[in-house]
Chain A
């Protein structure tokens, strides 16, 4: 039996744990039907032309962890941004870990999707938001919806500023030989509210893990969302991240994606504008080696006038690694005075590395400023000579320049300790010894 069949035949087992008469389950069942008809995307699909899931889905995974795994705090502490001082929603093999988490209902909700989907007090919010922007016609999203049960649920009420960042972390314990996980997150930032969120997926042992995640985010009027995706997993772990963000009038939403490790990563990052004077920021640094593969597929849909979007993705590729950047900007006819900018710059450190970059602009309005640019190149020879003339050996000089190339994306990271940490991670990955600061 292939894995796709298993996903469908295992559904009965999944249904044993949920309320079948619930409206949420009707949504799930419908999504399963879509997935059953469509199956996994293949390279024949235009948006999957450069990323093949074949190698991933040609093997078997367990869908439900057999036993509850515990992990010691001391073993995973290093993956937290801070020991304390953040809200944490933490899962081990897809199962919530109350021991490692630090949730809250005090003025804001940072808790579990399983609670939000089943408890009556969340019902109205679930009816309003659950599966409302995740498109029905994307098979991986549909697959996630069909199994949607657990993940992070975050609600920031009007005019509330979450005073601590929220960390959503999925650990894979390695107790299952191979595991397929499908977390489902729902984040609502109500009017004039603010929140900062960090999401990461981390395997603790080298074993086959695939995560097919869906996150729906609603950023209301005057609200502010600052979201960081840290993708620095083991080379046995793959991630398909489907994130959908709608923004209302005067809101700001920013997503930084740092793809520094993993086997195969696909980021489907989608922004939809529902009001005027919206600002959307999409930034990314991708640093790959060996045979890693990262695919950024972004969409910014400008559907209202006077909005702005900025995309800046940098990629550094060595060995036989592969990068894909597929950036789509749609500007509707009504969306006059749109400013939409997109930049994708790449450095290939080795000839065997590959980057496929494809900007797509669909502009139907006539009074807009849109630009896109992509470069694929090597390091600047003059700059290299400058460093070497100061006595810095070629290899180190290259590393330093590569670091400098990636660094500009970090300027907009708003959490100083996160910025420092990513800085160090990037420096370490590139073999740069940053030393001390005055």
Chain B
């Protein structure tokens, strides 16, 4: 589904990613771990098409299509979703209206009509239930005054509504207490199927107890220095990141 080869990227002339190789297939969950500043968030931004970053070398293919020439919205239309570490507040635009705008933008790009309101409402109800979201929450302004946990849950709600092929969860666990973490993880698990894939980006192993990865990659200095299965996450939890730095 997503094939990244020798990816180099920089921001304002500063090199952040120094040759990433990553192959994510449908139905898989990948975890990308690493110490702060290792390039985890940059990798997610670059995949999602943040124009602040410049891809200087390598290739990114999504379903065989070259991503490097596509803007962020086109990547979203192909089915890439990024759950933000710090979701942006949009006063005056309700969660519902925002979702509607996003869904219909993707449909338009695919040459489809707007989703009928009744279908949309039905889907909203269904997904809100899945994530234990109160309907009152949906008529609030997007992320405005939301707690950290609410913001993250709302990101997963958007993911549920947009049904991406590839979801990248950037530090979705940060700022969540254990109950919120379980709800979010549970939601992600329910949304999984054999046709989609999830990349979980996290500093801690905690989330991976609930979203169990097929593969774990350790990022350091903009390179994947070690890959393994879920046991690698436990090893990192026990030993910290210092031994990884020696591998680099």
Q: Using a CB–CB distance below 8 Å, which chain A residues touch chain B?
A: 380-383, 385-394, 396-397, 400-401, 403-404, 406-408, 410, 423, 433-438
Contacts and interface: CB of A to CB of B under 8 A. Distances in A.
Given A404-B90, A423-B92, A388 B49 contact: yes
Contacts of B240: none
Main secondary structure of the interface of B (DSSP, over half): helix
Nearest to B99: A390
Contact of A404 (B77, B92, B106): B92
Contacts of A386: 84, 87-88
Interface in B150-194: 158, 162
Q: Report, as a range, how many residues of chain B touch the other chain.
A: 35 or more
B96 interface: yes
24 contacts: A382-B88, A383-B88, A385-B48, A389-B49, A389-B73, A389-B82, A390-B76, A390-B81, A391-B73, A391-B76, A391-B103, A393-B73, A396-B101, A396-B105, A397-B73, A400-B101, A404-B91, A404-B93, A423-B92, A437-B94, A437-B97, A438-B96, A438-B121, A438-B135
A407 B225 CA distance: 47
A380 B48 contact: no
B97 A434 contact: yes
Contacts, number: 101
Interface in B126-141: 135, 138-139, 141
A435 B138 CA distance: 14
Nearest to B102: A390
A392 B82 CA distance: 13
Contacts of B106: 391
Nearest to B121: A438
A121 B158 CA distance: 65
B138 A438 contact: yes
Given A396-B101, A433-B101, A435-B101, A391 B92 contact: no
B204 to A, nearest CB: 24
Given A437-B94, A438-B96, 9 more contacts: A385-B51, A387-B90, A388-B49, A390-B158, A391-B76, A396-B105, A407-B91, A435-B101, A438-B124
Contacts of A407: 91-93, 141
Nearest to B92: A407
Given A385-B51, A385-B72, A392 B105 contact: yes
A401 B101 CA distance: 13
A301 to B, nearest CB: 32
B248 interface: no
Residue in B72, B97, B121 whose Cβ sees the most chain A Cβ within 10 Å: B72
B170 to A, nearest CB: 11
Interface in B78-128: 81-82, 84, 87-94, 96-98, 100-103, 105-106, 109, 117, 121, 124
